[in-house]
Structure 1
Amino acid sequence: MIEQKGATILTRDELKIVHLVLNTDCNAWDRPNTPGSPGVCRFCYRERNRVFADPDTVRRVIDLIRHESAAQRIVFTGGDPLMPYDNHLEVALAHAVDRGFETNLHTNGLLLADRYSGLRQYVTLYSLAIDGPDATTADWFRGTGFFERFLSNVEMLVADQRRLAFNTFTTTESVRWLLQLGQQISNIAARTSVEYWLISQYRPIGRPNSRKSEIYGYDPATFVAAVDQVRGIVGNLEVFAQPTRAPDDPYPFRAWILADGTVTADLGSVAAPRNAVLGNMLSDGLEPLIRRAFALRDTQFPASNSNDHATPTEN
């Protein structure tokens, strides 16, 4: 920790990235399934409840993140932050940039073209979901027409020379096509800047489901081997892997802040039914709540490395 103008703040080593949730809704849940699909985004573990805030509250939340931490980036996530109602996304992005943050828009991209002109000047990085190298695979995960929209978004962003990142979930079947997807991402990286690729297995987090486990719960060693192969074809592109963890093997620490100021933390346990709710930063402060989360995590995983707090992973 360091002192700034008499206040204790979280260093970048402790909290490099903050995830700001403007809403937990997602339009992908309403898309038609492709033949053979178990249902759109069955890997998702978000609870479907709206987050209610007003523009002034969102600005106060961002101001407090700046005042009580040295975090360098805010990830705007959800659900999907591009839902077709006023969740104050443009206000939040503009204010975050004004306060010196990098901004990561984490989206499935289905509504990106609709809102692009109003937000492009405020977004540092566009993190797009893509789970397969063709419509057969990608639409199986996220609904009919998803892959076509993904390609359209990539062309739009590449033409505008935007910085990109990618987020991929895998199954027993789709992991076999990871090399082909890696080649596509490598080709995109040759045309515009690509910062990272996050590849994940299924995460039960306390809600085990036999159907999901059958689809997503394959051997983590197979997953790790597939990701290692991909690293060999994407050059210097940073690849993060999130294999399914054992109960005593914690996931990297992540802080999630709702637009109303509620602070939750991903403490890393697959046994937790949901993220721990720590309090509201507008009344309790951000720094004390995050330190409470660190203490809870250290209690759960006393042997875990404290440097895990800074692991740069997304959802």
Structure 2
Amino acid sequence: MRRVIDRVRSESAAHRCVFTGGDPVMPYDNHLEAALRHATEVGFETNLHTNGLLLSERYDGLRDYVTVYSLAVDGPDPGTADWFRGQGYFERFRSNVEFLAADQRRLAFNTFTTASSVQDLPRLAQLVAGTAGRTDVEYWLISQYRPIGRASTRKAEIYGFGRDAFIRAVDEVRAMVGEVAVYAQPTREPQDPYPFRVWVLADGTVTADLGSVAAPRNEVLGDLLTDGFEPLVRRAFALREQAQLKGIA
């Protein structure tokens, strides 16, 4: 994993590593602490994406090597937040915010919305603003969840609200959180392309989002440790261009 990090560092202009998963803080033998430490040592900022369920248990080993703790919260109270993530989630989230803010850690928040919960964004904005008054909050990412490939009548009732309505709802809360950057991620249609993203797995495998949101899986580009990082990224760009040309044709 250190070799993977070194290769990305030497063959890209990236300045931050985002550690995500699944949830990297869950109880896997994934050497997360060693990876965060090494990424910091070679000059990266680090962003840890986590639901926070086991954050306090691993915090001592992570603390000095995380630039931003990105926490998931989907509603301003247990009734909404626990619906998405399970009973007791909201209380654990509040506990994590309390100890991270007390330790003056930099935070960020990720939120998924439904047709119902999007109406609660103003109350959630108050929570974000209150946290920003105690410690640095870098951003708030709000997404319009859409279960591509798993459609059903029930899910259409839950998630079926328009893109324009979502964007309006997000725009209405921007001024409520002061200097915190707010990013809106509206839903895409099945034929829409993903944003161009290259993923580096811990074992060196490199994949990329090349197709539409209906694509069954990412394209596997190769092994960073044997093929190099830059050539794989260049291949990703070429494949992305081919996919777009096919779409036009």
TM-score by length of 2: 0.93
Native 8 Å contact 2:73 2:109 kept in 1:
yes
Given residue 62 of structure 2, which amino acid in structure 1 is its aligned partner? L
Instruction: Find runs of 4+ consecutive structure 1 residues off by over 6 angstroms.
Output: none
Structure 2 unmatched runs, 5+: none
The residue that corresponds to 1:283 in the other structure is 226
Given residue 277 of structure 1, which amino acid in structure 2 is its aligned partner? V
- More displaced stretch, 272-281 vs 104-113: 272-281
Q: Structure 1, residues 60-107: CA drift from partner, whole Å, max 9, x if none? A: 110110111010010110101011132100010000001100000100
| Residues 272, 138 of structure 1: alpha-carbon distance in 2 compared, 3 angstrom cutoff | same
SS at match of 2:140: strand
SS at match of 1:119: helix
**Identical aligned pairs, as a percentage?**
70
Q: CA deviation at 1:250?
A: 3.0
Q: CA deviation at 1:271?
A: 2.3
Q: CA deviation at 1:204?
A: 4.1
Native 8 Å contact 1:183 1:233 kept in 2:
yes
More helix by share: 2
Q: Structure 1, residues 200-249: CA drift from partner, whole Å, max 9, x if none? A: 112445x2322434322321111111001011211221111110112454
Separation of aligned partners in 1, 2:147 and 2:231: 29
Instruction: Verify: 1:148 aligned to 2:98, yes or no.
Output: no
The residue that corresponds to 2:102 in the other structure is 159
Native 8 Å contact 2:191 2:214 kept in 1:
no
Pairwise CA RMSD: 1.6
Q: CA deviation at 1:299?
A: 2.8
The residue that corresponds to 1:209 in the other structure is 151
Separation of aligned partners in 2, 1:117 and 1:184: 26
The residue that corresponds to 2:182 in the other structure is 239
Q: Which has the higher contact order (CA 8 A, sep 6+)?
A: 1
- More displaced stretch, 245-254 vs 67-76: 245-254
- More displaced stretch, 228-237 vs 99-108: 228-237
**Counterparts of residues 219-238 of structure 1 (less than 5 Å):** 219-238=162-181
Given residue 194 of structure 1, which amino acid in structure 2 is its aligned partner? V
Separation of aligned partners in 2, 1:116 and 1:67: 29
